[in-house]
């Protein structure tokens, strides 16, 4: 019953009109009066923001805020893979032989997520992370490794919630939501950075140009809280023993080692 009610509520509210209205309001000057209460409710760390709260004129500007230089030091070991976002590691583990991952007890298909069985094949028996960004988090996305972008593509249209309830009761949001996929190659092996849109707001804006990525460099941002999935080719990655799920993580912190 709970699952049915959850889905009904989401279906009734997740339409193009409501998405456009929410996005328009967040970008409007009328949203400015919500900024102080938003910052308080979500415990926004104002000390690390690039600008003071009064300098943000819309909620959208606060959502996509930058941080002060040095606020997110990047692990400088050339063999490490770092977190691309401030987030909570919701799940992590091995990608199964059938190209599935298990998230909140529910199977998700990597082939569906990437668009084809061919795209998923290199990641079978590899490793994955699910990184959830809440509305309180810094929303900019940074490169987890240094390497060359092999290809980049988008899939999906609508976006359903990707929080804990969304992953448990939703209609497979990691596979179906609007998503922008960046495949990066380094040392002859690859990883996929899957940026997944959140409910109502599909905006994932690229800020990086060119084919070369540098670890810790900004590459994109979300217009609202969302999720990043990291997929590692088999034999390319070893997780740091201190990393467990669930746990919070910040941009630049070590997730494991590229091998």
Write out the chain's pLDDT in tens, 259 residues.
Answer: 444 433 333 343 445 555 566 667 778 888 888 899 989 988 999 999 999 999 999 988 998 999 999 999 999 999 999 999 999 999 999 999 998 888 767 788 999 999 999 999 999 999 999 999 988 899 999 999 999 999 999 987 666 555 555 555 555 556 567 889 999 999 999 999 999 877 555 578 899 999 999 999 999 998 766 889 999 999 999 999 999 999 999 999 999 999 8
Total Cβ atoms within 10 A of residue 78: 9
Among 31, 86, 137, 223, the one annotated catalytic: 86
pTM of the model: 0.87
Q: How far apart are alpha carbons 179 and 227 in whole angstroms?
A: 10
Greatest CA separation found in the chain? 52
Q: Which residues contact 59 (CB under 8 A, 6 or more apart)?
A: 25, 26, 27, 31, 32, 34, 35, 38
Is 75 assigned a catalytic role?
no
Per annotation, catalytic residue among 19, 31, 99, 226: 226
Please tell me which residue in 142, 143, 159, 203 is annotated as part of the active site.
142
To the query of whether residue 86 is one of the catalytic residues in this protein, the response is yes
Q: Is 142 a catalytic residue?
A: yes
């Amino acid at each position: 019953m709970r699952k049915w009610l959850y889905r009904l509520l989401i279906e009734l509210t997740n339409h193009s009109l409501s998405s456009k209205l929410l996005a328009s309001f967040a970008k409007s000057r009328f949203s400015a009066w919500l900024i102080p209460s938003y910052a308080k409710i979500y415990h926004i760390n104002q000390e690390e923001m690039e600008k003071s709260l009064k300098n943000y004129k819309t909620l959208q500007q606060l959502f996509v805020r930058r941080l002060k230089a040095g606020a997110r030091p990047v692990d400088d070991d050339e063999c490490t893979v770092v977190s691309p976002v401030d987030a909570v590691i919701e799940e992590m583990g091995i990608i199964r032989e059938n190209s599935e991952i298990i998230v909140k007890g529910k199977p998700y298909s990597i082939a569906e997520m990437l668009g084809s069985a061919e795209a998923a094949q290199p990641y079978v028996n590899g490793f994955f992370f699910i990184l959830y960004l809440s509305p309180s988090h810094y929303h900019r996305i940074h490169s987890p490794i240094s390497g060359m972008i092999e290809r980049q593509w988008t899939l999906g249209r609508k976006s359903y919630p990707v929080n804990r309830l969304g992953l448990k009761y939703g209609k497979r949001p990691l596979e179906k939501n609007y998503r922008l996929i960046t495949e990066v190659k380094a040392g002859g092996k690859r990883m996929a950075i899957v940026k997944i849109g959140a409910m109502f707001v599909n905006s994932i804006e690229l800020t990086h140009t060119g084919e070369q990525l540098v670890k810790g460099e900004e590459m994109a941002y979300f217009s609202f809280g969302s999720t990043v999935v990291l997929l590692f080719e088999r034999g390319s990655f070893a997780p740091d023993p201190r990393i467990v799920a669930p746990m919070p993580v910040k941009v630049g912190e070590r997730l494991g080692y590229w091998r």
